[in-house]
Structure 1
């Protein structure tokens, strides 16, 4: 199987030569350690050496200072930031003092067509190579952005006490992502295989808000985002860190193909528990603990756990660290151990 075939078979719970695997998204500070460990110059070379199956493609969004689609909204009040380019969910936001839905247009909402580079999107997907599973990293975190719009505590209070303005702001955010994503999908049409959306709902021990509130306020927008991706024939990986067990079935019902990242040490999110409750009902990605095992464990510890996970999920699970970001505290030898073990399971 090539990478794309293995990815598609894994998420279909179909037989595979070995499970698909994904490194995730190494943060810039982790890259020098990874390239040095493998004696290579670029992360492209590292991916090739490890035989990684997924090629992530970041949306080329050019809006200073962050130049990232996940930081498209300048909601934070400047006098509450340590640095002018900080993005925070908890600092007081633009809508903190507004309570009338008619005020929603007082914010200078960005037009994604001005900042999303369609030609660069085409170049990036073409550079990925034909046999990879090419995945657009969309994020489209409309819930998290709503927290930035008000400040998180204010956002959650407003959701309950003044839902009209909360929903008005949330709709503007969702509409932005629907437009941005359409531009990206049209630019990469027929060349992309999957997309990743993400909105963190979980803490280490449970959901940050009642699941019925997520279903009432957040998931309608999520459904629109997923349905839009599906019209382009794309598989959907849905990301939320933390303990999200009570809403996993909802995520599949919304049309997502893959739940990511199975934060292994979060309550109810162990691979054993997920396998017992959801095996065959959908696909997953993650499961290899990036909070302790990948940081403090030895390569032999990592190999042991990867083998245990594959025994539980011979297909239906993309083996990956239980966080999308590979941080500098993960020894590159443990990344190597993860991929070597997966590769050694080839039939």
Structure 2
């Protein structure tokens, strides 16, 4: 069974020799892994919302990933710019500054928003701009026959919106039901619907949407607020993707504890839940599989907070096999770290994760 078939079987609730694996890493770790394997490591791909997910494809395949992730990239006419003071500004006008491990947001181009007219006047990017899908198309043509293709569309509505406005201002606007909030969410959702439809048309097996709406201990917003702002837009988004490619599977990423929202996502048409953050409150794999395993594929589940950076190789292997035993029963599991693997993770623990998965091939 090749990697492509392994993914297709798993997302259609058919058992495989082992679960398919997807992995993404941060740039600092890419350099370390490149040195370990003796591989040249290219610069991260210029994608405003998806860079770490879609960079270093050959390196991830060398590790043992079964999937290649593609996304929309900065178009030919609007690459990310680095200003003289070091501020990086992407095509949305969002400004970030590197402070070591991650880039922090410093410039919110819609921080002044007060009215629907302010939203309408903002120069939103063109989802069909030349060059936006060049790398995605090339990757699908190169890898699509042998490997699963995941089209990344994270920061689908909420996150892109708060990057534009600022988190506090957006939350206040939502709480006060300011009309500009709906106008902004509609604009952002429309952009990402168009991008997702294009990725589906190009041949993605999975469209991976998402917004972080959970914290370590519970949801960041109420169910009522989710229903007011996000449920109808998410349902429309999913339906549009299925119109383009009826057999495409839709994943949703939200870090943290998101238990109250899971039934809403299922009602909206979700197929795959990610990332099943192990240390977030209530995200117990046994309960999730027993409760939703007949309706949802699970994607993730390997801890990047404690297990991978601080565990022993034996602990990593044991926990990976335990998660597989729980979540892969009857199919329906894509094994993955619960986020990009971080720079403080020992290479031997990353190798141990993949070795544990490959050990199941020998059993079969």
> Structure 1 length normalisation: TM-score?
0.87
Quickly say closer, same or farther: Cα 1:341–1:157, change in 2 above 3 A: same
Is 2:68 the partner of 1:55? Answer: yes
Q: Secondary structure at the match of 1:137?
A: strand
d(CA) in 1 for partners of 2:97, 2:146: 44
Of the candidates 220, 229, 243, which is equivalent to residue 232 of structure 2? 220
d(CA) in 2 for partners of 1:263, 1:129: 28
Is 2:208 the partner of 1:196? Answer: yes
Which residue in the other structure is 2:338 paired with? 322
Matches within 5 A, 1:259-270: 259-270=273-284
User: More helix per residue: 1 or 2?
Assistant: 1
Is 2:143 the partner of 1:128? Answer: yes
What is the number of residues matched between the two proteins?
332
Matches within 5 A, 1:3-14: 3-14=3-14
Q: Deviations over 1:141-192 (max 9, x none)?
A: 2111222233211111111213321101111111222233344444x1xx32
In structure 1, the gaps of 5 or more residues are none
- Return the offset for 1:231: 2.0
Quickly say closer, same or farther: Cα 1:116–1:254, change in 2 above 3 A: farther
Which residue in the other structure is 1:103 paired with? 118
Which residue in the other structure is 1:15 paired with? 15
CA contact (8 A) 2:154 2:210 kept: yes
Which residue in the other structure is 2:263 paired with? 249
Which residue in the other structure is 1:236 paired with? 250
Greater RCO, CA 8 A, separation 6+:
1
Q: Aligned-residue CA RMSD in angstroms? A: 2.5
Quickly say closer, same or farther: Cα 1:100–1:35, change in 2 above 3 A: closer
Of the candidates 281, 288, 296, which is equivalent to residue 274 of structure 1? 288
Matches within 5 A, 1:132-147: 132-147=147-162
In structure 2, the gaps of 5 or more residues are 42-55, 83-88
d(CA) in 1 for partners of 2:165, 2:136: 32
Quickly say closer, same or farther: Cα 1:276–1:144, change in 2 above 3 A: same
Quickly say closer, same or farther: Cα 1:106–1:332, change in 2 above 3 A: same
Is 2:310 the partner of 1:296? Answer: yes
CA contact (8 A) 1:270 1:287 kept: no
- Return the offset for 1:249: 2.1
Which residue in the other structure is 1:159 paired with? 174
CA contact (8 A) 2:57 2:68 kept: no
d(CA) in 1 for partners of 2:337, 2:81: 26
CA contact (8 A) 2:271 2:295 kept: no
Quickly say closer, same or farther: Cα 1:281–1:178, change in 2 above 3 A: closer
